[in-house]
Structure 1
Amino acid sequence: MRARRTSAAAGVALALALLAGCSTEVPQPDPDPVAETPPPALDEARFDRVLQEVAEAISAGDEARDPEVLSTRVTGPALDLRSGEYRLAEATDGEAVPEPITTAPQVQAVSATADFPRIAMAITEMPEGANLPLLVTLVQPEPREQYKLWGWVQLFPGVQTPALTHPEAGSAVVAPDADTLVATPTEVVERFVATINDTGSEFAPQFAADPYRDSLLSTTAELDEAVQAAGDATLSAEVGDDGPVSIATADGGAIVMGELRSELTFQKTVAGSELRAGGAIGALLGDDTEVRGSVTGISDVLVAFYVPPADAEDTTIQALGATTVLVEVTRDDSSAPAEE
């Protein structure tokens, strides 16, 4: 070991002597000019490989019905949604099945950024057993972490998706507070929630009609009418904990995927009457489905929007698709109506 050190030291000394006795200038590196915009974080081949690896993790998680298996390549709202679907499948003895998911892409968009998180989106082929494609969002939060599925939505029938920048060019990541759009991504989710809680909200004219809100509001009204002999059904929504995640479109707008929570509450108001929860809410309640006071079904929801650029002639925000899963049911027997 000592001989090696001596030899190494002699080599360094010789190199220094040669440099000192030579008048030629030491060559300086001549790096290529730094590009004005960063390259895409993934090329098309690597993105295809990531999508395939995510698909394999979903398949393994679905087979085991195990969120831990899923979590190797699924995170955030997507992990919450899929975990909720597993619980529903178990509670209904397999009658409720997880939504078909594919990551096979038709259209791809990859963020061009040197920073993190890095984002990629794809409009997929139609999953087997479904009749509408998905919009999937993947996120790489840190340099040493893998891309994971952050969220997915089923696109609405007939929806026109905006043109995305080709993966070879890369797309800009749009920050939650970006002021280049008709509303910041954070504001989009907040205002959409406001239109669910109040159909007469001042923000309602900013959004085009969409099947998710139409179905949510009409279903709640029908349930409220169905239980009126014993109580009422009410709906509320709030902004979720994660996101939004956004990527620029070719026209300077953005696709924004945001999370919200909706709560459907059955409240018994007529003493002596009988009110029971059915469907998925009843399944998660278990054997005791009676509503004595109130029962609330809590759903995690992802919605994707097209948000025009701030200088667009048409400033209407369009919901492109949604995914909703019942993830929790709570009860409050203390709110039962007083017996006469």
Structure 2
Amino acid sequence: MRNSQRFTTILTCILAGTLIAGCTPDVPALDVDQELVEAETPALTDVQMAEVTQVVGEALGAADAEKDTEALEQRVTGPALKIRQAEYRIATAQKSDDSLSELPATMQSVFMTNSQGWPRTIFAVSERPQNLEAERFVVYTQESAQDNYELWGWFPLFPGITVPTFPASGVGTQELSELDETLQLAPTDAINQYVSLLKKPSGDAKDTFNIENDTFVKEISDLRKYMKDAAKQVEGEYKESIKPSDEWHALRTIDGGAVIVTSIELAGTLKGESGALVTPSAIEKAFLKKDAKVKNALTVKRTAIIGVYVPAKEQTTQPYVLGRLLKTTGASIPD
């Protein structure tokens, strides 16, 4: 729901606690443009949003310097927190910061909600990182008026991808709910169908999405093939699971569509015959106990963050994914 701003003019004169009538001449009625009064406005100004990105960036930088997970929690939440904590664990184990994703604090575009209630969501596209990787699509959230804005998620854009146009930051845009019926696919339907595509690229969902610039589908297919080939070498099997998160954020684009950002949990278990050894990689070792003994099985967990553009119903454009972040966030040796 959106709260309209209303203006009320009250003229009073108070003398010794008593209201005195007729203390001033009559004030003419104001001629108010009701459309402007009821217009929705962005939750933050551009200046305020720049302050948010700067404060979050400084907090992230300070936490990164010490690999301090408690400090991280002050300004980072959701899948971004899970992924950064995993990156800290890898960096500590490898005594190198190479595992830390670079996330610029300066944004070149900001897409603000005009919600006057909470929770609130803001999308942004960062400047190009110093390592010259793709720009990051960034999500900030604020749970309540008493909470700080926090970094909820980010992902690099696919090469050649076009970010849909949002209303100008001075106007703001709408947050979508699952009840919205204006899109080709409801948010959860779009997420679930994309997960189906990751699981089976040749399945029913293959005609739903435009994957011309989408490298994630091929990436997961290649990983699956590699692991199944590895299973053959140890005369075993490879099992995987890909599950969408139940948390997502969506803002409407200027053409009536929407961008939906969510996370996906992936897990794969490689198990060989009795006596075989499945050796974890250096990254996977960071999540195992130092005295863990290599056995014939290993489970690896990964977390992905994706952004899906879903056009309005009347559009002929197919839904497509803007980019993805995929990071190892756990490993274990099954009993």
- The TM tier, using the shorter chain, reads 0.7 to 0.9
Preserved CA contact (<8 Å) 2:90 2:286: yes
Aligned to 2:241: 236
Query: What SS does the corresponding residue of 1:235 show, helix, strand or coil?
Result: strand
Preserved CA contact (<8 Å) 2:210 2:319: yes
Match of 1:93 among 78, 92, 95: 95
Cα deviation for residue 64 of structure 1 reads 1.4
Distance in 1 (CA, whole Å) between partners of 2:97 and 2:41 is 46
Percent identity, aligned pairs only, is 24
Query: What SS does the corresponding residue of 1:160 show, helix, strand or coil?
Result: coil
Q: Deviation per CA, 1:161-181, whole angstroms, max 9, x where unpaired?
A: 111211011111112342211
Cα deviation for residue 31 of structure 1 reads 9.5
Cα deviation for residue 274 of structure 1 reads 2.8
Q: Does 1:282 align with 2:290?
A: no
Cα deviation for residue 288 of structure 1 reads 3.1
Distance in 1 (CA, whole Å) between partners of 2:282 and 2:240 is 17
Q: Does 1:305 align with 2:308?
A: yes
Q: 1:305 to 1:80 in 2, by over 3 A?
A: same
Distance in 2 (CA, whole Å) between partners of 1:249 and 1:216 is 29
Query: What SS does the corresponding residue of 1:176 show, helix, strand or coil?
Result: coil
2:209 maps to a residue whose letter is F
Distance in 2 (CA, whole Å) between partners of 1:184 and 1:139 is 21
Aligned to 1:332: 334
1:86 maps to a residue whose letter is Y
Cα deviation for residue 61 of structure 1 reads 1.0
Distance in 1 (CA, whole Å) between partners of 2:132 and 2:24 is 71
1:259 maps to a residue whose letter is S
Aligned to 1:6: none
Normalised by the length of structure 1, the TM-score is: 0.85
Query: What SS does the corresponding residue of 2:75 show, helix, strand or coil?
Result: coil
- More deviation in 144-153 or 90-99? 90-99
Question: 1:210-221 alignment to 2 at 5 Å?
Answer: 210-221=214-225
Q: Deviation per CA, 1:241-297, whole angstroms, max 9, x where unpaired?
A: 4x21011111111111011100121112x23333322242234224435233x3211
Q: 1:31 to 1:203 in 2, by over 3 A?
A: farther
Aligned residues: 316
Q: Deviation per CA, 1:30-57, whole angstroms, max 9, x where unpaired?
A: 6954634320111111111111111111
Distance in 2 (CA, whole Å) between partners of 1:84 and 1:36 is 45
Preserved CA contact (<8 Å) 2:187 2:260: yes
Aligned to 1:225: 229
Q: Does 1:69 align with 2:71?
A: yes
Aligned to 1:141: 143
Q: 1:121 to 1:11 in 2, by over 3 A?
A: same
Query: What SS does the corresponding residue of 1:240 show, helix, strand or coil?
Result: strand
2:299 maps to a residue whose letter is T
Preserved CA contact (<8 Å) 2:249 2:261: yes
Q: Deviation per CA, 1:119-171, whole angstroms, max 9, x where unpaired?
A: 11111111122421000011111112221111101111111111121101111
Distance in 1 (CA, whole Å) between partners of 2:250 and 2:81 is 19
Aligned to 2:269: 265
Distance in 1 (CA, whole Å) between partners of 2:310 and 2:237 is 36
Aligned to 1:117: 119
- Tell me the C-alpha RMSD between the 2 structures: 2.4
Normalised by the length of structure 2, the TM-score is: 0.86
> Which structure: greater helix fraction?
1
Cα deviation for residue 329 of structure 1 reads 1.5
2:309 maps to a residue whose letter is Y
Distance in 1 (CA, whole Å) between partners of 2:228 and 2:301 is 17
Preserved CA contact (<8 Å) 1:176 1:246: no
Cα deviation for residue 27 of structure 1 reads 7.2
Aligned to 1:183: 185
Match of 1:129 among 119, 128, 131: 131
Query: What SS does the corresponding residue of 2:90 show, helix, strand or coil?
Result: helix
